Amino acid sequence: MRGILWAEMTREDLKAALGQDPVVIVPVGAIEQHGPHLPVDTDANGVYELAVRAATAQSGVIVAPPIWWGYSHNHRAWPGLITLSSETLIQVVQDICLSIHQQGFRRIIVLGMAATGHPSG
């Protein structure tokens, strides 16, 4: 299978990959504050990097383009937040996974970055 990044693969690459029954990882991150020392894309980039490393280490894994928007309403008090409602996020993830599944891919992992603790001010 040539390539691991869905966005860089051609339709022929993806068609060929179907025959190998790959796992497709759908990374889901958030754009939110992480205190004064980290960029707001820390979660989104972290989960994407984790997915890419997993695909690099294990054959038969494709990384879908990341979903850069999460549900982070608890970060509303700080600048930098771009968030979806929980209902919208669930629908976006469902639609993307359904689209992947309808093309014949059967093994899909939704990989998200979980928040821990409270935001620092």
- Does residue 116 carry a pLDDT above 50? no
CA–CA–CA angle 70, 75, 77 (5° rounding): 145
| 50 inside domain | yes
Give 43-97 pLDDT, tens digit per residue.
899 999 999 999 999 999 999 999 998 888 787 788 888 889 999 999 999 999 9
Question: 11-24: per-residue pLDDT in tens?
Answer: 999 999 999 999 99
User: Looking at per-residue confidence, does 34 or 20 come out higher?
Assistant: 20
119: left (phi over 0), alpha (psi -120 to 50) or beta: beta
Instruction: Please give the tally of structural domains in the chain.
Output: 1
Residue 25 lies in a domain: yes
Instruction: Please report whether residue 38 resides in a domain.
Output: yes
For residue 33, the domain's CATH number is 3.40.50.10310
Is 12 part of a structural domain of the chain? yes
* 121, part of any domain: no
Residue with tokens 């820390």: 42
Tell whether the model's pLDDT for residue 99 goes beyond 70. yes
Q: Would 48 be classed as within a structural domain?
A: yes
Q: Is residue 44 part of a domain?
A: yes
- Range of 10's domain? 6-112
> What is the CA 67 to chain-centroid distance, rounded?
5
Instruction: Tell me whether residue 76 is in a domain.
Output: yes
